[in-house]
Each structure stands twice: as C-alpha cells, then as structure tokens.
Amino acid sequence: MSIRHGILAILAEQPAHGYWLKSHFEEYTAGMWPLNVGQVYSTLARLERDGMVEPVGEDDAGRQAWRITPAGRAALRAWYDTPVATGEARDELAIKVLLAIAGKRADAGRIIDNQRLATMQKLQQFTRVKKDTGADSDLAWVLLLDLLTARLEAEINWLDRCEQRLKGAGR
C-alpha cells in the first residue's frame, strides 16, 4: 500500500494540515510506519492532482489545510471494501528451508531448529512487552502486538510441521 489511503482515511474524519496528518497516522497505527512530513506533502500534492483532496486555506499558524473530496471518499471506500492480498508464498524463510530440503548440502533440520529458536526468542520478547502492557494501554498498540505474536506463533507452527513432514518422509 502507499500512504495515500492512510491520508484519505484521516482526512475523511476532518480537514487537517500535513504535520497533523503525519502525527495522527503514526498514533493511529501504533508507530508501525513512521512518516516524514515531506512524504506527506508530496502525497497530498499527488492526491490534489488526482482530484481526491483539495486545499481549504491556512490555519492560524499559516499552515495549509486539506479536505477530502467525493472522489477521495469513493477511493477510500473502495480500499476498505477490497480485502488485502495475504498469503504470499515468497518468503525468505520458506525459500531457505525448501532449498535446503531440495539439495543435499544443507542440513534442513538444523535450519529449522535455529529458526525456531530465533522465532521463539522474538515471541518471548513480544510477550514480555505484552505482560507490561496494562489494560488501559493504547488499543492500537495492543492489537499490533497481537498481530506480531500471532505471526511468530504461525511461523513456529509451520516449522514444527516441516519437521514432522520431513520425519514422515524419512529425511
């Protein structure tokens, strides 16, 4: 994705200037994608060119504010309505394990063991952060932690499955 839809999503709530868009995008997405203001302004310029936002004058501090247009709202709605393409197979870990299994020179079992250890260490780190995250913590942050730990858990499950299938295949 580009940050176009992120900016449109925030402008759909209220008109805003560039710095406000940057800081609120980062807050709403738990800081997972830090932006620089220049990137926000260049995106606003492209959105204006495409008829999706328009300037609404300056605020008291002299900063240019923007609002979303009907075309921008339609583009945003289409984005929300379209499922994200997930389940991409191309993944460095998958490629490494599959090549090791296909060849004879690498020890696939050792690669699986090493990766499982590294992934578990990462999962423990995130779980410690989760433990220290109180009930009154920012919901965006809690949900992002849930996503990150779920992905790590899925990776360990896949590595376990690889090990079982290799064993079943007598490798």
* Calculated CA dihedral for residues 38, 44, 47, 52, nearest 10 degrees: 160
When asked if residue 164 is in the footprint of other proteins (CB under 8 A), the reply is yes
Nearer to other proteins among residue 45 and residue 150 (C-beta): 150
Number of residues forming the site for other proteins (CB under 8 A): 19
Q: Which of 106, 126, 140, 145 binds other proteins (CB under 8 A)?
A: 126
Among 156, 155, 149, residue whose Cα is nearest residue 126: 149
Instruction: Provide DSSP, 25-54.
Output: HHHHTTTSS---HHHHHHHHHHHHHTTSEE
Name which of 63 and 167 has its Cβ closer to other proteins.
Answer: 167
Q: Is 157 in the site for other proteins (CB under 8 A)?
A: yes
Torsion on CA atoms 143, 21, 56, 41, rounded to nearest 10: -130
Q: Does residue 116 bind other proteins (CB under 8 A)?
A: yes
The nearest distance, CB 152 to other proteins, in angstroms, is: 8
Residues of span 49-78 touching other proteins by CB under 8 A: none
